Structure 1
Amino acid sequence: MDQNNSTTNKRRWKQILEKERYQIESLLKAGLTPLLIGIQMDRDSRSIEWEIKRESNSSLTKEIRYCADVGQRVHEECAANKGRCLKIGKDHKLVSHIEKKIKDEKYSPDAVIGEIKEKGFVFESYICTKTLYNYIDKGLFLKY
């Protein structure tokens, strides 16, 4: 059976965009309910309710306000946490060895990895030169 004849429904869920968050904020200020906002935005009302609940900030008063900026910031923070764990993991000995060689002894990242291979140093994890350069670019090691 090919995709054209599939009996399953296509997944229709998609993330709420930044401009939609601002639209939710303005419609809430105008006094619309999540149901009416969902109808107007062609979204499920429950999605709107979850978004409002998740990104609302309440002060010491009992007034609860939705803030699109907070919603977008939280969304971006969660999106940044996605992905694979670091190969280097919790191998602090390898990190300190690499930092010592690069910072104190002025080795290049490629020379450090080459020395580890050549001399047969054993650490909990192993990384290649490209991974080391990527980690340095991301700022995971001390600035050199």
Structure 2
Amino acid sequence: MKEESDLMQLQINTPHIKGHHLTDHERDLIQQGHDAGLSNREIARQLGVAPQTIHNEIIRGTVKQKHKQNGKDVYLHRYSHDHAQMKYDQARLKCHRPSKINQSMAFIDYLYTQFFNHKWSIDAVVGYSKVHQLFTPEEMVCTTTLYNYVDQGLLMIKNIDLLEKLSRRFHKHTITKFNRILGRGIDERPASAEDRKEFGHFELDTVQGKRDGKESVILTLVERKTRMLITALLDGKDADSVCYALRNILEQYGPAIKTVTADNGSEFADLLQLGIDAYYAHPYSASERGSNERHNRMLRATFPKGQSLDTATRKQLSRAQDEINHLPRRAQGYATPAELFAKETAAVCG
């Protein structure tokens, strides 16, 4: 048995502070001592910690390593200070986060209700709660932190549930379009329709399920100022079906509709026959109807691309429309499109 003076002496720069966690440097010293054959008790004595601390640390940081010996695989178990430090850092990260979550459980429960039942975004829940003072600042968690919680797996919400975080490509449906503009171009649209300050300017589009052109489609009409979405389920993607649906919409909302901007799809060829002040975007310029594009993506959460709309019901579409229209929007101070649209139509219709 070696005398104490013959044992390897660890190069300790700073004495261990009682009651504090092991440092990265101390874990490195533990690895050196362990590799040199020092006992847990001797390592503990030199570091100035309890032997049980070293015992627990070595269990936590032991890794399985494979070596070749005489042409055969041999597995060795060895303490790794890098692995131990990584596990410690992960544990520290998790032990801090839940404490804030536990303090904010009422808000987290509200987040779950609005997210899963009403399809609100995380930011919409945070913004709406702040504007309406539903919780104190101490009870709430900010948007950025909530997204971090999702990434760390600390919430019931997963990244796959977050439509806006998915790196999907929502390709524009390819349909036969006229190379010429059907009527007046978007450049002739009143300036008041551009800045979203005046109510009554709409964007028009269709959402397909399967792309064979023979099945049902959804007509979408979005008011630019309030972001209010109006939808209709059409039997087909043709001008007659579009005009039939728009006549019903005009009967209900006619006084509120000042202009309509559509793309150059053949299904929108007869808008002028309805007496609509219609304008057409440049060919292949979906960005000129940004409100349509965003709301179409939101509808895709209920009606995925590639899924036939022949089985969709008007009740399902109405429910999806209501969920979207009751979603608070950051750009509008976390008011909902339904609230803003109701105020505007009341002013227009008296």
What TM bracket, shorter-length normalisation? 0.5 to 0.7
SS at structure 2 position matched to 1:43: coil
Quote the residue 1:18 is aligned against. 24
Deviation at residue 43 of structure 1 after TM alignment: 1.3
**Higher Rg of the two aligned structures:** 2
Match of 2:121 in 1: 99
Q: Which residue matches 1:48? A: 54
Deviates more, 1:86-95 or 1:15-24: 86-95
Q: What residue in structure 1 maps to residue 33 of structure 2?
A: 27
Q: Which runs of structure 2 are paired with 1:61-80 in the superposition (5 Å)?
A: 61=74, 63-80=76-93
Q: State how far apart, in whole Å, the 1-side matches of 2:40 and 2:123 are.
A: 58
The alignment partner of 2:141 has SS state of helix
- 1:113–1:128 CA contact under 8 A, matched in 2: no
**How far 1:95 sits from its partner (Å)?**
2.7
How many Å apart are 1:90 and its aligned residue? 7.7
Matching residue's letter, 1:92? Y
| Structure 2 spans left out of the alignment, 5+ residues | 1-17, 67-73, 151-161, 166-350
Aligned residue type for 1:39:
R
Cα distance, 1:91 vs structure 2: 4.4
Tell me how far 1:55 sits from its aligned partner. 1.4
**Which has the larger displacement, 23-32 or 77-86?**
77-86
Bigger proportion of residues as strand = 2
Distance 1:50 1:100, change over 3 A: closer
Query: Cα deviation per residue 1:95-118 (whole Å; 9 max; x = unaligned)?
Result: 35441885xxxxx953x3367x49
Distance 1:35 1:62, change over 3 A: farther
* Aligned 8 A contact 2:123 2:143 in 1: no
Deviation readout 1:26-77 (Å, 9 max, x if unpaired) = 1111221111111111111221111111211124645220001111111111
In 1, distance between residues paired with 2:122 and 2:64? Answer: 48
Q: Judging changes above 3 Å, is the alpha-carbon distance between structure 1 residues 62 and 137 closer, same or farther for their aligned structure 2 residues?
A: closer
1:131 paired with 2:141, answer yes
Q: Is the 8 A contact 1:57 1:65 kept in 2?
A: yes
Unaligned runs of 5+ in 1: 1-11, 103-107, 119-125
> Deviation of residue 134 (structure 1)?
4.9
| Larger fraction in helix | 1
Specify whether residues 100 and 135 from structure 1 end up closer, same or farther in structure 2 by C-alpha distance, changes over 3 A only: closer
How far apart, CA to CA, are the structure 2 residues paired with 1:25 and 1:113?
50
Alignment RMSD, CA only?
Answer: 3.5
Residues 98 and 49 (structure 1 numbering): CA distance in 2 closer, same or farther, change over 3 Å? same
TM-score (norm 1): 0.62
- 2:314 corresponds to which residue? none
| C-alpha distance in 2 between matches for 1:114 and 1:42 | 50
* 2-structure distance, mates of 1:47, 1:13: 11
Distance 1:93-1:71 versus aligned 2 partners, 3 A rule: same
What is the aligned length? 119
Q: Aligned pair in 2 of structure 1 residues 26, 136: CA closer, same or farther (>3 Å)?
A: same
